[in-house]
């Protein structure tokens, strides 16, 4: 048996121990699954009557598909705006002008520090409360603006970290041949950083898609609202509805991840980058607020 460069190949006793631990882990997982399924059965959550509504077309056309459309609409619009926000403020944090750096840094850290649920609620109710008018921001735009501000701030850190991950010699060589900073950024740094940033950007897009479910606080007609607050209440099948909705979210995120993986492979084949992958920035308060994103070289 060949020896791995990181560790020696396990011997007979180590292989036996590993196999025993694997079997034990599988047995524990199967036991937990049995407890969950048996408990659901005892509570009547596995009865055919609770799952039968999902076999009818009016369930999908009246509840799930309209909710899914609402989720995807908010996610797509917020994703586009968040990327624009992230690029502008990420580049602003790298500006040579101190005032621009301070303003962009303050905006990014401020919106990263506010919980998204509070941000969505304030976007809808805040303007009406402060101005005295009864008309509030539509639920769709409240969700989109909240997602844009929060996720755009995270993307700004990813953009900043991606550009800083490009070796300094790349920009120095560009300046040496007479390029201006805007040209260096547009022609040298950003193209290389995009490849390094792609995994972190995709990860944040998945987070953004799932965060659309927080629109329930302002009664936005998304997948979670339609599937749990409307459909499940009518049919009394909360657990089956939650399972079906969870599977839909999983399938959407898997499709998004597969698409991003293809885009990343095409990008790496068409462009050679000296920058290493960029990790998503930690949440404010996890490992120190305001520390910013770090680049993995």
**What CATH number did the domain enclosing 88 receive?**
1.10.3720.10
Task: Identify whether 64 is part of a domain.
Answer: no
- C-alpha 132/C-alpha 126 separation (Å) is 10
What mean pLDDT comes out for the span 254-283? 68
Domain range for residue 78?
69-218+263-270
pLDDT of 154? 94
- DSSP-assigned letters across all residues of 227-289: IIIIIHHHHT-HHHHHHHHHHHHHHHHHHHHHHHHHHHHHHHHH----PPPBPPPPPTTSS-T
- C-alpha 179/C-alpha 151 separation (Å) is 32
Question: Which is higher by pLDDT, 46 or 134?
Answer: 46
Please, which pLDDT band fits residue 279 given cuts at 50, 70 and 90? low
pLDDT of 25? 95
Task: Identify whether 297 is part of a domain.
Answer: no
Around Cβ 266, how many Cβ atoms within 10 Å? 10
What mean pLDDT comes out for the span 16-43? 90
- What separation in angstroms does the CA of 56 have from each of 61, 67, 230? 9, 16, 16
Which residue, chain included where needed, has tokens 């953004």?
A: 208
DSSP lists the bridge partners of residue 278 as 295
| pLDDT tens figures, 157-207 | 999 988 888 888 888 888 888 888 788 888 888 888 887 788 888 889 889
| Per-residue tokens: 236 | 């009394």
- C-alpha 204/C-alpha 64 separation (Å) is 25
Task: Identify whether 177 is part of a domain.
Answer: yes
What mean pLDDT comes out for the span 217-242? 80
- C-alpha 82/C-alpha 292 separation (Å) is 18
pLDDT of 284 > 60? The answer is yes
Count the alpha carbons within 13 Å of 215 in the hemisphere toward its beta carbon: 34
Helix (H, G, I), strand (E, B) or coil at 49: helix
Task: Identify whether 250 is part of a domain.
Answer: no
pLDDT of 28? 96
Task: Identify whether 198 is part of a domain.
Answer: yes
**Integer Rg of the chain from CA:** 24
| Per-residue tokens: 175 | 């300046």
- What separation in angstroms does the CA of 150 have from each of 68, 119, 183? 22, 8, 29
Please, which pLDDT band fits residue 294 given cuts at 50, 70 and 90? very low
What mean pLDDT comes out for the span 44-61? 82
pLDDT of 287 > 60? The answer is no
- What separation in angstroms does the CA of 131 have from each of 31, 127, 128? 57, 6, 5
Task: Identify whether 6 is part of a domain.
Answer: no
Task: Identify whether 24 is part of a domain.
Answer: no
Cβ atoms 204, 293 nearer than 8 A: no
| Per-residue tokens: 33 | 């699954």
- C-alpha 268/C-alpha 215 separation (Å) is 36
Task: Identify whether 38 is part of a domain.
Answer: no
What mean pLDDT comes out for the span 90-97? 89
What mean pLDDT comes out for the span 66-91? 93
Q: What DSSP designation does 2 have? A: P
Please, which pLDDT band fits residue 275 given cuts at 50, 70 and 90? low
Packed helices 65-92 and 98-113: angle between N→C axes, nearest 10 degrees? 150
pLDDT of 243? 87
Check: pTM over 0.85? Answer yes or no: no
Question: Which is higher by pLDDT, 263 or 17?
Answer: 17
| pLDDT tens figures, 1-10 | 444 455 567 7
pLDDT of 151 > 80? The answer is yes
13-22, 55-64, 72-81, 205-214, range with the lowest pLDDT: 55-64
pLDDT of 268 > 80? The answer is no
pLDDT of 218? 86
Task: Supply φ then ψ for residue 278, to 5 degrees.
Answer: -105, 130
pLDDT of 101 > 70? The answer is yes
Question: Which is higher by pLDDT, 145 or 266?
Answer: 145
Task: Supply φ then ψ for residue 295, to 5 degrees.
Answer: -100, 135
Cβ atoms 275, 192 nearer than 8 A: yes
pLDDT of 295? 39
Domain total for the chain?
A: 1
């Amino acid at each position: 048996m060949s020896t791995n460069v990181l560790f020696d190949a396990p011997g007979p006793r180590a292989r036996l121990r590993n196999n025993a631990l694997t079997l034990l882990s599988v047995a524990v997982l199967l036991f937990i699954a049995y407890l969950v399924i048996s408990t659901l059965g005892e509570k009547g959550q596995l009865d055919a009557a609770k799952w039968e509504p999902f076999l009818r077309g009016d369930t999908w056309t009246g509840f799930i598909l309209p909710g899914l459309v609402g989720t995807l609409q908010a996610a797509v619009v917020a994703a586009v705006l968040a990327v624009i926000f992230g690029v502008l403020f990420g580049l602003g944090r790298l500006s040579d002008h101190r005032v621009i750096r301070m303003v962009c840094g303050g905006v990014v850290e401020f919106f990263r520090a506010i919980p998204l649920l509070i941000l969505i609620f304030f976007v809808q109710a805040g303007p009406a409360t402060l101005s005295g008018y009864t008309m509030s921001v539509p639920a769709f735009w409240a969700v989109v603006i909240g997602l844009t501000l929060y996720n755009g701030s995270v993307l700004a850190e990813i953009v900043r970290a991606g550009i800083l991950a490009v070796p300094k010699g790349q920009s120095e060589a560009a300046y040496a041949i007479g390029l201006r900073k805007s040209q260096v950024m547009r022609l040298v740094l950003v193209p290389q950083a995009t490849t390094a940033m792609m995994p972190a950007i995709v990860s944040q897009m998945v987070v953004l898609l799932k965060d659309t479910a927080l629109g329930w606080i302002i009664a936005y007609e998304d997948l979670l609202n339609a599937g749990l607050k409307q459909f499940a209440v009518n049919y009394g099948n909360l657990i089956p509805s939650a399972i079906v909705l969870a599977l839909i979210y999983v399938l959407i995120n898997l499709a998004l991840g597969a698409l991003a993986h293809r885009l990343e492979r095409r990008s790496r084949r068409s462009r050679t980058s000296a920058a290493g992958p960029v990790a998503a920035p930690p949440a404010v308060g996890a490992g120190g607020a305001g520390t910013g994103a770090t680049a993995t070289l």
